[in-house]
Amino acid sequence: MSSFLTPAFVSLRSALAASAALAASSVFAQTSINLTQDATVRQAGTYTYYARGNAAGETITPFTTMFYPGGELHTYAGATTLGLDGTLVDNGSNGAPISFGVGELTDNSNASEVRGWINVEQVSAGTHSASPHGGQFDIVFDLGANYVITSVVVTYTDAAGWRFRKTVANTQQVFTSTGNPSLVGDAGLTLFDTATAVGGATLGQLTFSGTSVGAQYVIFRPEMDLATNIGGNSYGGYIYEVAINGYAIPEPSSAAALAGVVALGGVVLRRQRRSGSVR
Ligand SMILES: [Ca+2]
Ligand SMILES: [Ca+2]
C-alpha cells in the first residue's frame, strides 16, 4: 500500500471492497439450494396434484380439479394404501394442497413413493380406449414467494406396470409462473425445460435445467403410460422427490444500499481528487 494514501481514501477503498464482496456474495454469485428444504419455504410452501382429464378420457380445464394419487381410484380396486402421498386417500372430491412440511415429494427422502395416476390424465398419445396410452397431469409447487429457479430434479422409478411415457423424447416437462396457475391457466406458464425418462430406471433422476427465472410456482407435468381404467395394467411411474433448486431474489433495499455505497464512493473520490489527496 502506498504511504501517500490518506486515511479517508483507505477507508473508502475498504468500503468499496466490502461492497464488491457483498455484490459477489448476494447478487452475482448466488449459491442455489434445494428450496423445498429451506425453513422459510417449508413454512409457506405447498404442492397440489391437479387433473387434466377425467375417467371418461375427456380433457378438463387445467388447475381446477385437485386429487391425491394412488389408492383404488387411481391404481386398481382394493389398492387402498398403494402409492399414496403419506396417508392421503382420494375419495373423489377431497384433493387439497399439501404442505411441504408433510408431503412425500418434499421430505428429502426416497423412503416412500407416490404412484397411480389413472383417471386424472389428459390423453397425450394414443387413445383413452387403448392401454397403455400417454397421459399428463400437473403437480403445482407454490413456494410462497418469488425465487430465482435454477433447476428442478425429480427422483423416479420406471418399472413393469408402472411406466413413464418414453416413446417420444422430452415429454416430461417443467413450467414456471409468477402467477397462480389456477388463475393464469396454461397460457400463463413458461416452459422451463424438458427431460426424458429412462426405461427400467430405479431411483433415476429427471433433471430440468433451463435458463434461471424468477417464479413463485413450479409446475411438473409428467407424461405416463396409463391403462384405460382402474384394473388395467399400466398405472404410471413412481415419483419420490421433487427438488427445486434456486435462491432468494435480492431485496430492492439491498440493491439500493449497494448503489448508494458506490455513489457515495464516487463523491468522496471526486472531493479527494479536487483537494489533491489522491494522485
Ligand atoms: Ca420423498
Ligand atoms: Ca407413498
User: Domain of 71: which CATH number?
Assistant: 2.60.120.260
Domain span at residue 146?
Answer: 33-248
Looking at the fold, whether 182 and 269 belong to one and the same domain comes out as no
pTM above 0.85? no
Task: Calculate how far, in angstroms, residue 157's C-alpha sits from the geometric centre of ligand 2.
Answer: 13
Give the per-residue pLDDT at 250. Answer: 81
Place of cell 471526486: 270
Ligand nearest to the CA of 104: 1
Task: Calculate how far, in angstroms, residue 229's C-alpha sits from the geometric centre of ligand 1.
Answer: 27
Task: Calculate how far, in angstroms, residue 114's C-alpha sits from the geometric centre of ligand 2.
Answer: 5
Tell the burial category of 218 from Cβ atoms under 10 Å away from its Cβ (0-12, 13-18, 19+): buried
Count how many domains the chain has.
2
Task: Calculate how far, in angstroms, residue 177's C-alpha sits from the geometric centre of ligand 2.
Answer: 27
**Per-block average pLDDT, block size 10, for the chain (279 residues)?**
47 49 51 98 98 97 98 94 98 98 98 98 96 97 98 98 97 98 98 98 97 98 95 93 96 65 54 53
Query: Which letter does DSSP use for residue 85 in this model?
Result: B
Looking at the fold, whether 214 and 267 belong to one and the same domain comes out as no
Are 85 and 104 in contact by the 8 Å Cβ rule? The answer is: yes
Give the per-residue pLDDT at 251. Answer: 77
In a domain? residue 261: yes
Give the per-residue pLDDT at 21. Answer: 45
Place of cell 382394493: 78
Ligand nearest to the CA of 113: 2
Task: Calculate how far, in angstroms, residue 70's C-alpha sits from the geometric centre of ligand 2.
Answer: 8
Looking at the fold, whether 234 and 271 belong to one and the same domain comes out as no
Give the per-residue pLDDT at 27. Answer: 46
Looking at the fold, whether 16 and 96 belong to one and the same domain comes out as no
Give the per-residue pLDDT at 72. Answer: 95
Ligand nearest to the CA of 108: 1
Task: Calculate how far, in angstroms, residue 22's C-alpha sits from the geometric centre of ligand 2.
Answer: 43
The 8 Å CB, 24+ separation contacts for 270-273 are: 272/6, 272/8, 272/9, 272/12
In a domain? residue 1: no
Query: Which letter does DSSP use for residue 251 in this model?
Result: P
Ligand nearest to the CA of 82: 2
pLDDT tens per residue across span 52-79: 999 999 999 999 999 999 999 999 999 9
Ligand nearest to the CA of 75: 2
Task: Calculate how far, in angstroms, residue 113's C-alpha sits from the geometric centre of ligand 1.
Answer: 7
Looking at the fold, whether 175 and 86 belong to one and the same domain comes out as yes
Looking at the fold, whether 16 and 109 belong to one and the same domain comes out as no
In a domain? residue 55: yes
Looking at the fold, whether 51 and 103 belong to one and the same domain comes out as yes
Place of cell 399439501: 98
